[in-house]
A and B are shown apart, each in its own frame.
Chain A
């Protein structure tokens, strides 16, 4: 025995079909399987024993429930439920079997259940047996009227055939009875009943037996033309007719039931095989749906609809569908799908008899299959539908995954292209700038007059500006390329501020910069280069938009688990109409001095947001602009 908790080799098998509330057993087993974290299989052994309609639908529901709860469902056919259960259990190395012990109202069923359980206990070897008491609350069997499952074909011709056969034998017997004697004639009648029993079902066979017995007794057994049995052997012979007819009828019925089950299994296997073969060959979604519709139409002999989710809550009937659900039904289906209802409740709110099954796990439905129906589906058909819907769901899932991987490939390709483009842009544009800068540098070393020096100075300034512009444009496209990730590591904020200040020393030469940096600032995870550019851009922005001599303050502090960096000036401030737009790309305030690119502040915003932080621009009370950067201290999460 495997102790609970060790799920390495656990496998739980559950028997359904032999108790009045299979759903209860299935749920009980799920709890057990979850506790052991073990896989579980639900076994249904189909016997020739006739089942009532209510029992059938209840079983189908339980099997569907079991599938939904994650069980594997195994159905098999056989006379002996327990033997078949144990056969499967041993094949699959089952460690525990859960058996629903019938504690319902019917004494006969209780007795049978106990016999089964005793056999199970005796023959199960090392397997642990759980006997779960089940009362017939799920379905009051006593109340439900006894109604046979409607037979597929009518038995009336068989009765006619039985009567005809007996009549024929009787007529023939009038010819040979005088020659062979009454007892040999009885054997001829028996032969006819045996032959008949092979062909017809139990009822007509019994009728033939009864008719033969009566006919023989009346016409051939002395005294002829009278119902009177004078010898004991004759009475025995009469009784034998019935026994033989009964046994034969039973036997042939079994054989036929098994044949039928075999045929259905083959049908199902063929249908599934055809479906999977077709599905594997489908290229795109439309082809896939067309093939599904065609295969399901031929398997179920009815119209088929495929619905796929189109937007958040909507559903779209695929044009290849041959069944057209009404708009009301579509809405009901869409809301059922949105509410993640499981498959059993799925078709409940519909106004038609048509059957709809959601595809895929209930957390993320991939679509819906609809079948046009005029009556309830037989259990075999329902099983087939379940199997089909699983295959279709798999195909949809595969298609979905293919799409995702295609998209990812495309994205990676476009990212690669983008990077190559950026790299070559960066190289191609910077090379001439480098050449100009180097050439003017060389030029300045020669002895030149003051006008020439001035011109060289102009070229150098323009080159510097162009270089900055190109740099900013490249940074913006890098930010927007989608694969931008800051390189986070622990940084010293004081160091960051000093580097940024040193970088802008030249631009801030005519301003009064004051720093307020507390000594106890923690190390902050950030991309040093990006944050340095943030501060540099804010500082040069302040320098560019305020007259010389203006005071600029740069301060840092920790507040609400954020690092707060503030650049404040006492200049004219930001025009109110521009406040909301200063971080926009290429936006320049109306009174902005020439020479800027309109990209600096948008880069500030982009870089800060890449760190998971935010930045805001305000006007100070009195006069001046104030830019505040908030950087979360655990700035490890970058927004997607």
Chain B
């Protein structure tokens, strides 16, 4: 486990020099080794040469569309990619997540938010020590025995609820878009038919959240999808 001791190489693909500078200051202070690329092509080259452990990718790049950069990176790499996006561009976020981005963060963001996101992305990118057992906060899911426990007490789930939960567990910490969930669980390609999904999310929250009105586990990402929050 030598890599964890070394500084993580983080590649920032962003055209604004000021943002790059600030990210470098903030990230280097927090233990990352920062590499920069100002264009999409440059970013892809840097990713090949440096083999970074994490990539921050801005979608608005001067030479090629950020989404295309993402797709080309995903052709050969599973490196965690965090998208820098702006408010009101839910379609971009969905497109990026569907194309293999691990998460997104909306500009302008605070340093704290960014660091938290980076931690989450890295955490779920790591292989879990005990892959059949998942825990987050009060929730524990044993994929081998198909048991779901909340504060140690077994929760009964229907088949659909369970497969929905398993999907979230498999992608814990990551935002799943409505389309992704509908495809996986209902085999549907009609992305705007979110009705059953909303209903089942309601059921799951009823059973798993301590306060379903203020979900702590299964949070809504407005206009994009849902995320199962990773808690220690």
List chain A positions with a Cβ less than 8 A from chain B.
423, 426-427, 430-439, 441-442, 445, 463, 467, 471, 474-475, 478, 487-492, 494-495, 498-499, 502, 515, 523, 527-529, 532
Contacts and interface: CB of A to CB of B under 8 A. Distances in A.
A441 B26 contact: yes
B108 A498 contact: no
B195 A523 contact: yes
A532 B108 contact: no
Q: Which 9 A-B pairs have the closest CB atoms?
A: A529-B223, A490-B195, A434-B108, A489-B192, A441-B111, A492-B198, A437-B108, A438-B22, A489-B194
Contacts of B26: 438, 441-442
A502 B86 contact: no
B88 interface: yes
A438 B111 contact: yes
Contact of A431 (B16, B110, B193): B16
Interface string B175-197: 00010000000000001111100
Given A499-B220, A529-B222, A492 B199 contact: yes
Contacts of B199: 492, 523
A487 B29 CA distance: 41
Interface in B105-157: 107-112
A442 B88 contact: no
Given A442-B26, A529-B223, A435 B192 contact: no
14 contacts: A430-B107, A431-B16, A432-B18, A436-B108, A441-B26, A475-B88, A491-B194, A492-B201, A494-B202, A495-B201, A495-B202, A495-B220, A498-B213, A498-B220
Interface residues of B, number: 36
B193 A532 contact: no
B19 interface: yes
Given A427-B86, A467-B108, A487-B192, A438 B19 contact: yes
Interface in B4-32: 16, 18-19, 22-23, 25-26, 29
A442 B19 contact: no
Contacts of A435: 16, 18-19, 22
Contacts of A438: 19, 22-23, 26, 108-111
A495 B112 CA distance: 27
Contacts of A432: 18
Interface of B: 16, 18-19, 22-23, 25-26, 29, 60, 86-88, 90-91, 107-112, 178, 191-195, 198-199, 201-202, 213-215, 220, 222-223
Among B19, B29, B86, B193, find the residue whose CB has the most chain A CB atoms closer than 10 A.
B86
Given A433-B108, A442-B25, A490 B193 contact: yes
Nearest to A441: B111
A433 B110 CA distance: 11
Nearest to A523: B195
Among B26, B91, B111, B199, find the residue whose CB has the most chain A CB atoms closer than 10 A.
B111
Contacts of B195: 490, 523
A488 B222 CA distance: 13
B19 A431 contact: yes
A474 B88 contact: yes
Contacts of A490: 192-195, 198
Nearest to B23: A438
B15 to A, nearest CB: 9
Nearest to B108: A434
Contacts of B18: 431-432, 435
Contact of A441 (B19, B112, B223): B112
Contacts of A494: 202, 213
A478 to B, nearest CB: 7
A463 B111 contact: no
Nearest to A475: B88
A528 to B, nearest CB: 5
Contacts of B107: 430-431, 434
Contact of A491 (B60, B198, B213): B198
B217 to A, nearest CB: 14
Contacts of B86: 426-427, 430
Given A442-B22, A442-B111, A475-B88, 6 more contacts: A430-B108, A435-B22, A438-B19, A438-B111, A491-B194, A502-B214
Nearest to A488: B192
B118 to A, nearest CB: 14
Contacts of A436: 108
A432 B108 CA distance: 9
A460 to B, nearest CB: 9
A275 to B, nearest CB: 52
A489 B191 contact: yes
Contacts of B112: 441
Contacts of B192: 487-490
A435 B60 CA distance: 16
A528 B94 CA distance: 14
B193 A489 contact: yes
B179 to A, nearest CB: 10
Given A438-B19, A442-B22, A478 B88 contact: yes
B42 to A, nearest CB: 19
Contacts of A491: 194, 198
Contacts of A442: 22, 25-26, 29, 111
Contacts of A502: 214
Contact of B222 (A427, A441, A532): A532
Contacts of B191: 489
Contacts of B220: 495, 498-499
A476 to B, nearest CB: 12
Contact of B90 (A471, A478, A529): A529
A273 to B, nearest CB: 53
B128 to A, nearest CB: 29
Nearest to A492: B198
Given A475-B88, A490-B194, A494-B202, A445 B29 contact: yes
A400 to B, nearest CB: 36
A124 B34 CA distance: 92
Nearest to A503: B222
A69 B88 CA distance: 54
Contacts of A467: 108
Given A490-B193, A529-B222, A463 B108 contact: yes
A433 B107 CA distance: 9
Contact of B19 (A426, A434, A474, A489): A434
Contact of A487 (B16, B201, B202, B223): B223
B87 A471 contact: yes
Nearest to A468: B87
Nearest to A436: B108
A498 B215 contact: yes
